Amino acid sequence: MGEMAIMGIEGDKKEMWDPESPVEVGTAKATYNRLIAEGYKAFSVKKDGEKGKQIDEFDPDAGKIILIPAIKGG
pLDDT single digits (tens) 54-64: 999 999 988 89
Asked if 5 and 12 touch (Cβ cutoff 8 Å), the reply is yes
Mean pLDDT for the chain? 91
Q: Residue 49: pLDDT band by 50, 70, 90 thresholds? A: low
The CA-based angle 49-16-35, given to 5 degrees, is: 90
Going along the chain, which residue ranges are E strands? 2-6, 13-17, 41-45, 53-55, 64-68
Q: Residue 74: pLDDT band by 50, 70, 90 thresholds? A: low
Q: How far apart are CA 65 and CA 72, in angstroms?
A: 22
User: If you average pLDDT over residues 20-35, what whole number do you get?
Assistant: 97
The CATH number that domain 2-68 falls under is 3.10.20
| Share above pLDDT 70 across residues of the chain, in percent, rounded to a whole number | 93
What does the domain layout of the chain look like in residue ranges? 2-68
